[in-house]
Amino acid sequence: MNRTNDPNLRSWVEVPENSDFPIQNLPFGVFKTPGLTPRLCTAIGEYVADLQVLSEHGFFDDLGISPKVFAQPCLNDFIALGKAKTSAVRSRLSEILDDDLEEWDASELADYFLHRQDKVQMLLPVKVGDYTDFYSSREHATNVGTMFRGRENALMPNWLHLPVGYHGRASSIVVSGTPVRRPKGQQMPDGADKPVFGPCRLLDFELEMAFVIGKETSLGQSIDIAQAEDYIFGLCLFNDWSARDIQKWEYVPLGPFLGKSFASTVSPWIVTMDALEPFRTEGPKQEPTPLPYLQTKGPGSFDIQLEVEILPEEGEGKVVCRSNFKYLYWNMAQQLAHHTVNGCNIRVGDMMASGTISGPTPDSYGSMLELSWRGAKPISMPDGSERKFIIDGDTVVLHGWCDKDGLRIGFGKASGKVLPAKP
């Protein structure tokens, strides 16, 4: 295991207990302030560490990286350096922030490169060229299939043989904190004989995670599954907002057009594969055995606990879902091998979302569609109100973290408040 993952490491920056950002995490993001242009950063405790300033002070000089890379409004150029260099930067950050190491001690410069997270604006971490959404939770696919096709035909015949996915819309991916406007569109209400137009009435979240591509391929190239993880830079939280009534009318059950393309919310931090390594675990047993190009060796999933909280405009919030990334049937290497098996090329910054991550129990379902079972089982909120779907003024917050053997790292949050539809 990498030195940066050692649970005994401590930082000279104070890190609160149960922080998402101890020294063992060191995710990458982009921030700005009223006085500072956008630049790359990492997170430590309740602070961001400014990589541009650290670079200007020579902390990365021996790594052969142009200082310009750290003075960018997105991580793409940095990620494109390749894992040898980006991992070296993360290792150096671990040394800079370690309370035991003298050689790279930067504590005297703390005032120059540390900013409280609540005083900075986090930006969309990557410029997303292409966004793909998979549909890789067996529980989610079964739940949705049961609702729309009945229990007998819940899973389509292809589902256990390939990771189903569709090409999503990259332009409407927004960073946590960005309000989400309720979409309008065509719907066919139950019992109606012709469609109506108006604000979506069945607005939903989808609890997902996304991985960010770290290395490009050329057109015609397929990624061998054994090498697939080399192409993954890291992961973030991903809320694939869904307009169920618009979706249901335009296509069943994926609805990959206007029912989805109005917004997706991501967390501002990309947690690297290096940081996630201690939390590697087996995914579900795959039966039938997939075709050879989809066969992985060893544990291909990660134990990442996930939560969705609904915060009403006023009053107390409620955690409505507790799930885990490890429930996903198809792992990231399989998704990527499948995505490129036809020769489709991928590019740095592309985002591949998992699909809704539902678990085996009703409280682990990753969407309101499933939690309220199409509205048949409303969720009661602390203020006495009920939710079948998301109402105007609600803020939906995704959280994710890993916790094992005294080591805890987290993803921060992906939060979005729903605004009323435009008049």
State the residues that interact with Ca ion by CB under 5 A: 133, 206, 240
Q: How far apart are CA 31 and CA 36, in angstroms?
A: 9
**Plot region of 56 (φ>0 → left; ψ -120 to 50 → alpha; else → beta):** alpha
> How far apart are CB 133 and Ca ion at their closest, in Å?
5
Q: How far apart are CA 73 and CA 186, in angstroms?
A: 37
Which residue carries 């930006």 as its tokens? 123
Q: How far is residue 113 from each of residues 15, 216, 270, 340, measured CA to CA in Å? A: 16, 32, 20, 40
Q: How far apart are CA 326 and CA 323, in angstroms?
A: 9
Q: What's the burial of 405, exposed, middle or buried (CB within 10 Å: 0-12/13-18/19+)?
A: exposed
Instruction: Compute and round to an integer the Cα radius of gyration of the chain.
Output: 22
Q: Structure tokens of 230?
A: 């080399």
> How far apart are CB 206 and Ca ion at their closest, in Å?
4
The single residue of 140, 338, 339, 399 carrying the catalytic annotation is 140
> How far apart are CB 383 and Ca ion at their closest, in Å?
29
> How far apart are CB 240 and Ca ion at their closest, in Å?
4
Closest CA to 299 of 319, 315, 285: 285
Is 140 catalytic? The answer is yes
Q: Which is nearer to Ca ion, 98 or 240 (CB)?
A: 240
> How far apart are CB 379 and Ca ion at their closest, in Å?
20
Q: How far is residue 85 from each of residues 79, 104, 277, 334, 375, measured CA to CA in Å? A: 9, 17, 18, 26, 49
Catalytic residues: 140
